Chain A
Amino acid sequence: MSADIAGKNGVGREAILENETPPPGGNSLKKTIAVLIPAILAQAIGNVFLSMRMKEVGDSSLLALLPRAIESPSLWVGTALLIVSFILFAAALSWADLSFVMPAISSEVVVNVVFAKYFLSEDISLTRWAGILLISIGVLLVMRSARQKENQENQKISGSQNL
């Protein structure tokens, strides 16, 4: 972003802004999380909308169901939210590891189950709560591994600057 602003405001500004930009890799984990949280929420809310609509339409064959489902605005809102979620996911992949983004985004399953309980009043079995617990611990582990990796990379960068 800083490069764009600098381009409009002339050379003097550019030099100052370049000093302000953080070192590469410096805050990329925060940036990834800032993109993934809306992605997860959009996905979960989108699923609630879709599910609400499909339950209204009821149980029937996919072909008979499609024309009736398409008429509904909540289906379109749900689909639009899922597309937003996909775009944010792809954006995060432009700088972050796939082996981080994928497990991190799986916390959408947790949000989905919680939303299903509160908005769609579905019953959540004990097995499901156990699954939620496992996913949460898994995501925490992956987060920790990402933080460690980032610290190591920052040390490498500052180490090479000291030389």
Chain B
Amino acid sequence: MKTAILIAMIVLADSAGDVFLTMGMKQVGEISTLNPRALLTICQKTICNKCFLSGIFFITIFFFSFLVVLSWADLSLVFPAKSLVYVVSTLGAKWILKETVSLQRWGGIFLVCLGVALISLP
């Protein structure tokens, strides 16, 4: 039960992190320069962006809950369960970021999720 709650937390935190990160980067705007000075300005803008920072915050939560759950649960259980992130993040992308996700893309994401789960089995 403890493991299930932590895995749910891991999946949600990682997905929330991805969604916030995307939101932040979209606010910063498309990076279309290789000019070092312009890139530096973009970097400054990015690390001051609230959405980007929230993303980093959630990813940090994800990382530490991942370490914590690994201290008692098997990696071969946690890692396949973690591949649910692909599905949950896509739901976030569709509902929160309003991305259009075609049936073909859903199929691909589902296969990736299944494949990642298979790879991490013992």
On whether the beta carbons of B119 and A128 are closer than 8 Å, the reply is: yes
B117: Cβ under 8 A from any A Cβ: yes
Query: In the docked arrangement, what's the CA distance between A133 and B31, Å?
Result: 33
Interface residues on chain A, size class = 35 or more
Contacting A at CB under 8 A, from B91-114, are 92-94, 97, 99-102, 104-105, 107-114
List, in ascending order, chain B residues with CB within 8 A of A109's CB: 115-116, 119
List, in ascending order, chain B residues with CB within 8 A of A98's CB: 18-19, 22, 89-90, 92-93, 97, 99
List, in ascending order, chain A residues with CB within 8 A of B19's CB: 98
List, in ascending order, chain B residues with CB within 8 A of A95's CB: 30-32
On whether the beta carbons of A1 and B35 are closer than 8 Å, the reply is: yes
Interface residues on chain B, size class = 35 or more
What per-residue 1/0 map shows which CB atoms of B19-61 lie under 8 Å from chain A? 1011001101111111100100000001000001000000000
On whether the beta carbons of A141 and B105 are closer than 8 Å, the reply is: yes
Q: Quote the shortest CB–CB distance from A103 to chain B (angstroms).
A: 5
B121: Cβ under 8 A from any A Cβ: yes
Q: Quote the shortest CB–CB distance from B80 to chain A (angstroms).
A: 10
If the complex has contacts A94-B26, A94-B29, are A134 and B114 also in contact, measured as CB distance less than 8 A? yes
Q: Quote the shortest CB–CB distance from B38 to chain A (angstroms).
A: 6
Q: Which residue of A lies closest to B107 (CB)?
A: A141
3 closest pairs, A vs B, by CB? A141-B108, A138-B111, A134-B115
Q: Which of A90, A100, A145 contacts B25 (CB 8 A)?
A: A90
If the complex has contacts A99-B99, A109-B116, A131-B118, are A4 and B33 also in contact, measured as CB distance less than 8 A? yes
CB<8 Å pairs between A and B, sample of 23: A4-B33, A93-B21, A95-B31, A97-B93, A98-B18, A98-B89, A99-B101, A103-B105, A103-B108, A106-B112, A109-B116, A127-B118, A128-B118, A130-B118, A131-B117, A131-B118, A135-B116, A138-B112, A139-B108, A142-B109, A143-B108, A144-B108, A148-B104
If the complex has contacts A99-B93, A102-B89, A141-B107, are A93 and B112 also in contact, measured as CB distance less than 8 A? no
Q: Which residue of B lies closest to A3 (CB)?
A: B33
Query: In the docked arrangement, what's the CA distance between A51 and B49, Å?
Result: 33
List, in ascending order, chain B residues with CB within 8 A of A48's CB: none
Query: In the docked arrangement, what's the CA distance between A99 and B112, Å?
Result: 12
A91: Cβ under 8 A from any B Cβ: yes
A140: Cβ under 8 A from any B Cβ: yes
9 extra interface residue pairs, beta carbon distance < 8 Å, beyond A4-B33, A93-B22, A94-B25: A3-B33, A90-B25, A95-B30, A99-B99, A102-B93, A103-B109, A130-B115, A137-B108, A141-B111
Q: Which of A90, A113, A128, A140 contacts B46 (CB 8 A)?
A: A90
